[in-house]
Amino acid sequence: MKKSTYFFLLFALFQCSLQAKLWKVGPGENYKFCSAVVSLVNDGDTINIAAADYVNDAQVQWTKNNLLIRGVGGRPRLFAGALIANDPVNGKGIFVVKGNFCTIENIDFRNAKCLSNNGAGIRQEGSNVIVRNCRFENNEMGILGGGLTTLPNSTYTIEFCEFYNGGSFANPGYQHNIYINHIDTFIFRYNWSHDAIAEGHELKSRANNTFILYNRISNISSIDSRNIDIPNGGTAIIMGNIIEQGMNSANSNMLAYGLEGLSNPGPHNIFVCYNTFVNKKDKGSFIQVPASGCDTLLVKNNILSGAKTGGLILGTPTTLDSSHNYITDFISDVKFVNSNNSEYRLTANSPAVDKGKFFHKLVKGHMLYATKTYSDTCSNNDRVYYGNPDIGAFEYESPASTKKSVLLNEAYRYSVNAKTLTIHNLKRIDILEAKLYSSAGKSLSVFNNAKSDTNSIFIWDLNDYLQGYYILTIKTKSGESAIKFYLD
């Protein structure tokens, strides 16, 4: 790049940063409602909304790009009212986000209703949105994303959010906690979506690529439909989730894929791994795919507990890859901490402990290897392994345990258990050399040229080594990682 071009770009970025403004909305500010400031903002601006209750504001259409819209000093609560419900022209929801690359953080959206029965907390019509640390309650749609047309290059990311009681009794079965229309990629992680009403789903996605990772998706007492519906196929990863069906659910099937036509670009592959499914109804089925057209259904390391009167897996995938799942008609068999209170961590004597299998498959940049666990409320923890993985969304960890599993970086995780050192090569990068040293620096064991296509897990038997500290180094073409660990 020529120097003149480089400095021009720097200058342009500097000018943009100078022009971006901070707008303040709140009871003590010049702008009392978001509708008072929306016409003034420009691309790249930040809108701070002070923590307070905002009742019956008009619908706000954010049309500019690269906006940061956030609650400050706590989470402001935006209550929709008659101005939105009775708007015959623009009534779509509390926020309609038409700009691209916008981020919305730390806001509570409530009671959105409109004449079309699709009143949304957020109606997302632009591309590439991030919604983070927000709460959605009693809206006809918590988030309705994708607009009226397909957004082929758009990615929506929703994380650390809670969705509750989405749906419409005026139009049962068509409104949901989250409904993502036709976009390229939808990422849903560390969220709690629960108790959709009026036969709505807790989550519905028509995206070409849907990644549902480390969430709690549950029905406790309302009359919902499915927990997860991915009606048009494409690529879907369902990993590390707690998926719970309550006794009142109107649809006994918990996870559906491709049942409204496989109109997304193929191949049509769904990967379901490291999840805890709990069906509290006296009937039901767990996973349903079409009678034909589903290329791959992978189901591994899942707990599938509760009645399966309709069948465990319905439909006929071309390839079914399933193993190392724990399947039982009786929830009590799993020995959860307290299933009556939705506490689905494992106890020491659970038959799911150490019964899983590590497998390393990369799907569109996502490794099918659970590195997190969902944590209440709307958060996550690192998943810590002790030897073989436990089946389901959690690993059992003894309160007295001193064993450790540490993520060295994005590529490697190590664990020490029963005098065995295990290295998990998460990204299958060729290891040129791996060495084990004493704490004094003496070389004890060496692996050379450990090719990643056949060696994704390396195990050292440490029975001949004394208690104390040891050092492990891993060398690749891009550099070297080192860790120090303690052997009991």
Distance, CA of 88 to chain centre: 35
Residues 140 and 180 in one domain: yes
CATH number at residue 196: 2.160.20
Categorize the per-residue pLDDT at 402 as very low, low, confident or very high, splitting at 50, 70 and 90.
very low
Categorize the per-residue pLDDT at 411 as very low, low, confident or very high, splitting at 50, 70 and 90.
low
Beta strands in 311-442 (DSSP E): 311-314, 319-323, 326-328, 336-338, 343-346, 362-363, 366-367, 372-375, 379-382, 405-407, 412-417, 420-425, 431-438
Identify which has the larger pLDDT, 476 or 41: 41
CA atoms of 368 and 380, how far apart (whole Å): 17
Closest CA to 239 of 45, 406, 103, 383: 383
Categorize the per-residue pLDDT at 223 as very low, low, confident or very high, splitting at 50, 70 and 90.
very high
Examine the fold and report which residue of 403, 426, 443 is the final residue of a domain before the chain moves on. 403
CA atoms of 208 and 284, how far apart (whole Å): 27
CA atoms of 339 and 6, how far apart (whole Å): 60
Work out the widest C-alpha separation in the chain, in whole angstroms. 78
Residues 335 and 252 in one domain: yes
Residues 199 and 243 in one domain: yes
Is the predicted pLDDT of residue 158 greater than 70, yes or no?
yes
CATH number at residue 425: 2.60.40.3080
Q: Is residue 38 part of a domain?
A: yes
Could you say which DSSP state residue 102 is in? -
Q: What percent of the chain has pLDDT over 70?
A: 84
Is the predicted pLDDT of residue 39 greater than 50, yes or no?
yes
The string of pLDDT tens digits covering residues 371-390 is 899 999 999 998 877 768 89
Q: Is residue 5 part of a domain?
A: no
Q: If you average pLDDT over every residue of the chain, what do you get?
A: 88
Residues 75 and 22 in one domain: yes
Examine the fold and report which residue of 354, 379, 403 is the final residue of a domain before the chain moves on. 403
Residue 71 burial (C-beta neighbours within 10 Å; 0-12, 13-18, 19+): buried
Identify which has the larger pLDDT, 240 or 451: 240
The H or E element spanning position 468 is strand 468-476
The stretch 143-152 carries a mean pLDDT of 76
Is the predicted pLDDT of residue 229 greater than 90, yes or no?
yes
Q: Is residue 51 part of a domain?
A: yes
Categorize the per-residue pLDDT at 90 as very low, low, confident or very high, splitting at 50, 70 and 90.
confident
Residues 188 and 337 in one domain: yes
Residues 204 and 178 in one domain: yes
Residues 435 and 397 in one domain: no
CA atoms of 257 and 268, how far apart (whole Å): 9
Distance, CA of 335 to chain centre: 26
Number of structural domains in the chain? 2
How many residues are given for the chain? Answer: 488
Distances (CA, A) of 55 to 75, 116, 131, 157: 14, 21, 22, 27
For 369, the token pair is: 């290897």
Distances (CA, A) of 155 to 67, 129, 208, 217: 16, 7, 10, 21
Residues 444 and 473 in one domain: yes
Residue-range definition of the domain harbouring residue 219: 16-403
For 321, the token pair is: 């890859």
Which single residue is written with the structure tokens 């758009």? 154
The stretch 128-153 carries a mean pLDDT of 89
| Bridge partners (DSSP) listed for residue 381 | 373
Is the predicted pLDDT of residue 273 greater than 80, yes or no?
yes
Is the predicted pLDDT of residue 6 greater than 50, yes or no?
no
Q: What percent of the chain has pLDDT over 90?
A: 70
Categorize the per-residue pLDDT at 403 as very low, low, confident or very high, splitting at 50, 70 and 90.
very low
Closest CA to 436 of 488, 473, 476: 473
Is the predicted pLDDT of residue 135 greater than 90, yes or no?
yes
Q: Is residue 381 part of a domain?
A: yes
Examine the fold and report which residue of 403, 424, 439 is the final residue of a domain before the chain moves on. 403
For residues 236 and 227, the answer to whether their CB atoms sit within 8 Å is: no
Residues 369 and 381 in one domain: yes
DSSP, residue by residue, 397-425: --TT----EEE-SSSEEEEEETTEEEEEE
Q: Is residue 147 part of a domain?
A: yes
Identify which has the larger pLDDT, 446 or 393: 393
Q: Is residue 221 part of a domain?
A: yes
CA atoms of 245 and 261, how far apart (whole Å): 25
The string of pLDDT tens digits covering residues 423-457 is 766 666 667 777 887 766 677 877 654 444 445 56
Q: How many CA atoms lie within 13 A of 112 on its CB side?
A: 36
pLDDT at 362: 82
Residues 396 and 413 in one domain: no
Which single residue is written with the structure tokens 């209750």? 53
Is the predicted pLDDT of residue 16 greater than 90, yes or no?
no
Categorize the per-residue pLDDT at 407 as very low, low, confident or very high, splitting at 50, 70 and 90.
very low
**Where is mean pLDDT largest: 265-269, 433-437, 460-464?**
265-269
Distance, CA of 308 to chain centre: 26
Residue 10 burial (C-beta neighbours within 10 Å; 0-12, 13-18, 19+): exposed
Q: Is residue 205 part of a domain?
A: yes
Residues 254 and 228 in one domain: yes
For 214, the token pair is: 């480390």
Q: Which of 134-138, 215-219, 239-243, 400-404 has the lowest mean pLDDT?
A: 400-404
Which single residue is written with the structure tokens 């569109």? 364
Identity (one letter) of the amino acid at 364?
Answer: K
Categorize the per-residue pLDDT at 469 as very low, low, confident or very high, splitting at 50, 70 and 90.
confident
Distance, CA of 202 to chain centre: 13
Q: Which of 63-77, 93-107, 163-177, 461-475 has the lowest mean pLDDT?
A: 461-475
Which single residue is written with the structure tokens 């006994």? 252
The string of pLDDT tens digits covering residues 309-360 is 999 999 999 999 999 999 999 999 999 999 999 999 999 999 999 999 887 6
pLDDT at 412: 62
Is the predicted pLDDT of residue 5 greater than 80, yes or no?
no
Q: Is residue 11 part of a domain?
A: no
Is the predicted pLDDT of residue 400 greater than 80, yes or no?
no
CA atoms of 152 and 116, how far apart (whole Å): 25
Residues 117 and 34 in one domain: yes
